[in-house]
Amino acid sequence: MLRNRFIVVCSLFMIAAFVCALFVSTISVAGKTPSQEKKTVEHVFNTQPRDDKAAAAAFMQMVPVLRNPRCMNCHSVGDFPRQGDDAHPHAMNVRRGAEGHGVTAQKCGTCHQDKNTAGMHMPPGAPEWALPPPSTPMIWQNRTDGQVCAQIKDPNQNNHKSMDEIVHHMTKDELVGWGWHPGEGRNAIPIPHEEFAKYVNEWAAKGGACPK
């Protein structure tokens, strides 16, 4: 009898604790303004006076990275990824697929894990390894620097990213950062990541103007 009472009391205590925690959580969320909630999920960068000339110049400093094979192999013409510094089509006839993750059994995740596979020329890897989806392919090949810049900023082509989100993607995203750590047998992006990030932030902070 005492044992049964003990179990009932413990159960009631656990239920009360759960309800209390839920109540506190609800109050915490409800107390935030929309702007406060947004800042918890989005990086907010300090802006400077708009300077189109300086912003365009900063973007031009970003271009060598954007056009490096580590980036271009996923942002090139065609419904398939490319490989190597010569940008040859991916082996095994790999295709983009409906969401950028490949088709049938040839999914990107079949070979590409969340980090590089050890060994010379072994499959590279990073979290969320994939091509841009067909709805927003972000193809840079055969486009001018100004066109690439405009495309990166266009909400209809960049999956509705704000400027803050663009900066975060280009400077913090682990898949983008892979280009500086591509694994054995591959040439890394030669420009230091910190330098690239500096130019990205400067471009955005000064208004995000594009070169002509």
Q: What is the pLDDT of residues 177-207, one digit of tens each?
A: 999 999 999 999 999 999 999 999 999 999 9
Q: Residue 194: its pLDDT value, please?
A: 98
Residue 164 resides in a domain: yes
Q: How confident is the model at residue 48 (pLDDT cuts 50, 70, 90)?
A: confident
CB 79 within 8 A of CB 134: yes
Q: Which two tokens stand for residue 105?
A: 């059994």
Q: Please, what sign has the CA dihedral across residues 193, 197, 198, 200?
A: positive
**Residue 88 domain-assigned (yes or no):** yes
Same domain, 15 and 59: no
Structural domain contains residue 211: no
Integer CA distances (angstroms), 7 to 2, 13, 44, in order: 9, 10, 50
| 3-12 residue pLDDT tens | 344 333 334 3
Is residue 147 situated within a structural domain?
yes
Confirm whether 187 is domain-assigned: yes
Q: Is the pLDDT of residue 157 over 80?
A: yes
Q: Is residue 94 part of a domain?
A: yes
158 and 105 within one domain: yes
Return the pLDDT at 20: 39
**Residue 168 is part of which domain span?**
52-205
Q: Are residues 118 and 198 in the same domain?
A: yes
Other CB atoms within 10 Å distance of the CB of residue 194? 9
Count: domains in the chain: 2
pTM of the predicted protein model: 0.77
Q: Answer yes or no: is pLDDT of 25 > 80.
A: no
89, β-bridge pairs: 82
Query: Is there a domain that residue 41 lies in?
Result: no
Same domain, 26 and 67: no
Domain identity same for 148 and 198: yes
DSSP 58-102: HHHHHHHHHTSHHHHTTSSSSSS-EETTTTEEPGGG----TTSSE
Residue 44, in any domain of the structure: no
